[in-house]
Amino acid sequence: MEKKRSILTLEDGSRFEGFSFGAATSAGGEVVFNTAMTGYPESLTDPSYRGQILVLTYPLVGNYGVPPMEVDGGLPKFFESDAIHIRALVVSDYSFRHSHWNAVKSLDEWLRENNVPGVYGVDTRLITKTIRERGVMLGAVTLDGEAAPPLEDPNRRNLVAEVSCTKTEIYGNGKHRIALVDCGCKYNIIRCLVARDATVVRVPWDYDFTQLDYDGVMISNGPGDPQMCAATIANIRKAIALGKPIFGICLGNQLLSLAAGAATYKLKYGHRSHNQPVLTVGTDRAVITSQNHGYAVDTTSLEAGWEPLFVNLNDGTNEGIRHSSKPFFSAQFHPEASSGPVDTEYLFDEFIKNIEQWKR
């Protein structure tokens, strides 16, 4: 097989020459790295990666191929959305020959089908260190012989609007009616709720869900700058006033925090990994979490009644907030995992418990 060169360039001028796999094309975006060692089918379909070029620090990728597009309960069984959201994938060592009982195609084929370029054979550790030192940068993957695509900052766009559903959808048929604000929702959030006897009403990001008859609201994860979601924040404020249980995940934590008076800021290079340690504030309980976010909450300006719930043990950043008397809480990490450790799935139980208490 003829190897075609492909080059990753960063806005600081760094160049990393490798070879092309996946779609033979070029693409620009924000370059981020993820240190997880498993889970590329899940990560690539995670809407939070919208507009980003993903660098995987784990060097061997594609080993187990890509699972089939089976649908179960209205959702694809093995993916986190209906499409690949990353702009491009950058790896060190791509396995052209995969092996797994559940694989129907290779990662290479899957990327081609979705017109997403991949680069392999670059020093991903060096790229990671570059990003770590200089912060997240824009960049481009350019296929040898093609013109470099323009560098555009995806965070200036309303990425949430791009990935959110456009109309209301309903999943499951359980006793708890949950409004799910889809800011780029990972499907495993829906699966986790449905498995807990819920009916999930998935609504677009700017939909005024407070008009619905619901028992609790789930504010999903999603891409980009939380400040772009003014409409969602306004709806959350209304929900806070209503007092029914609220649970926010990732972007949902940022939006709930913004609604509760806190500020958000962009992290130098974000948290994207499966090994982030998080402590429940005021306890000795620490958990390992799956994370994917570029922005974080500054809790200093939280309004009265709100307090930090989780804190990152490595860098002390906020990992979730709660209301001291009302059933509102959120997590910056991903209790739905997929991919990553499933240790915090219990938060869905807490949410359901809040709903049950609220109903009483």
Partner 1 sequence: MEEIKKVILLGSGALKIGEAGEFDYSGSQALKALKEEGIYTVLINPNIATIQTSEGIADKVYFLPVTPDFVEEVIAKERPQGILLAFGGQTALNCGVKLYRGGVLEKYNVRVLGTPVQAIIDTEDREKFVEKLDQINVRTIKSQAVTTVADAKAVASELGYPIIIRAAYTLGGLGSGFCDNEQELDALASKAFTYSPQILVEKSLKGWKEVEYEVVRDRFDNCITVCNMENFDPLGIHTGESIVVAPSQTLTNSEYHKLRRLAIDIIRHIGIVGECNVQYALDPNSEDYRVIEVNARLSRSSALASKATGYPLAFVAAKLGLGYGLHELKNSVTKSTTACFEPALDYIVCKIPRWDLGKFKGVSRELGSSMKSVGEVMSIGRNFEEALQKGLRMIEQGMHGFVANKELAVEDVDQALSHPTDKRIFIIANALRKGYTVDRIYALTRIDRWFLEKLHGIIELEKQLEGYDGLETLPDSMLLEAKQKGFSDFQLARTLSKVRKGDMEDEVSRVREWRKARGILPVVKQIDTLAAEYPAMTNYLYLTYNGTAHDVDFPRDGQSVVVLGSGAYRIGSSVEFDWCSVNAVEAIRRTGLKAIMINYNPETVSTDYDMCDRLYFDELTLERVLDITDLEAPRGVIVSVGGQTPNNLAMRLDAHSVPILGTSASDVDRAEDRHKFSSMCDELGVDQPRWRELTSLEDIYAFADEVGFPLLIRPSYVLSGAAMNVVSNKQELEHFLTLATSVSKQYPVVVTEFIENAKEIEIDAVAKGGEVIAYAISEHVEFAGVHSGDATMVFPPQKMYVETMRRIKRISREVARGLHISGPFNMQLMAKNNEIKVIECNLRASRSFPFVSKVLKVNFIDLATRVMLGLPAEPPSKSAFDLDYVGIKAPQFSFSRLQKADPVLGVEMASTGEVGCIGEDFHEAILKAMLSVGYTIPAKNILLSTGDSRSKTDMLSAAQSLQRAGYNIFATRGTAEFLALSGVEATVLHWPDSPEKPNTLDYIKERRIDLVVNIPKNLTPGELSNDYSIRRGAIDFNIPLITNARLASAFIEAFCRIRRDKITIKSWNEY
| Minimum distance of partner 1 from residue 61's CB (angstroms) | 11
Smallest distance from partner 1 to CB 177, Å: 29
Q: Judge whether 17 counts as a catalytic residue.
A: no
| Interface residue with partner 1, options 275, 307, 326, 356 (CB under 8 A) | 275
Sequence length of the chain is 360
Q: Out of 4, 69, 83, 102, point to the residue binding partner 1 (CB under 8 A).
A: 102
Residue 38 makes contact with partner 1 by CB under 8 A: yes
- Concatenating the DSSP letter of every residue in 46-103 gives -GGGTTEEEEESSSEE-TT-B----EETTEESS-SSSS---SEEE-SEE-SS---TT-
Q: Segment 188-247, which members bind partner 1 (CB under 8 A)?
A: none
Is residue 31 involved in binding partner 1 (CB under 8 A)?
A: no
Give the contacts of 316 (CB within 8 A, at least 6 positions apart).
none
User: Burial level of 213, CB count in 10 A (0-12/13-18/19+)?
Assistant: exposed
Q: What are phi and psi of 240, to 5 degrees?
A: -60, -40
Q: Is 45 in the site for partner 1 (CB under 8 A)?
A: no
- Residue type for 280, please? T
Nearest-Å Rg of the Cα atoms of the chain is 20
**Beta-bridge partners for 88:** 53
Known catalytic residue at 250: yes
Give the shortest CB-292-to-partner 1 separation in angstroms: 13
Q: Which of 274, 293, 322, 334 binds partner 1 (CB under 8 A)?
A: 274
Q: Does 139 bind partner 1 (CB under 8 A)?
A: no
SS (H, E, C) 298-326: EHHHCCCCEEEEEEECCCCCEEEEEECCC
Catalytic residue among 30, 250, 274, 323: 250
Among 4, 132, 266, 359, binds partner 1 (CB under 8 A): 132
Interaxial angle between packed helices 230-242 and 251-259, expressed in degrees from 0 to 180 and rounded to the nearest 10: 70
Q: Is 334 a catalytic residue?
A: yes
Which range in 246-254, 283-291, 318-326, 328-336 contacts partner 1 by CB under 8 A?
283-291
Positions that interact with partner 1 (CB under 8 A)? 16, 33, 35-39, 41-42, 57-60, 63-64, 67, 78, 92-93, 95, 97-102, 122-126, 128-129, 132, 273-277, 279, 284-288, 313-315, 337-343
Could you give the residue numbers annotated as active site? 250, 334, 336
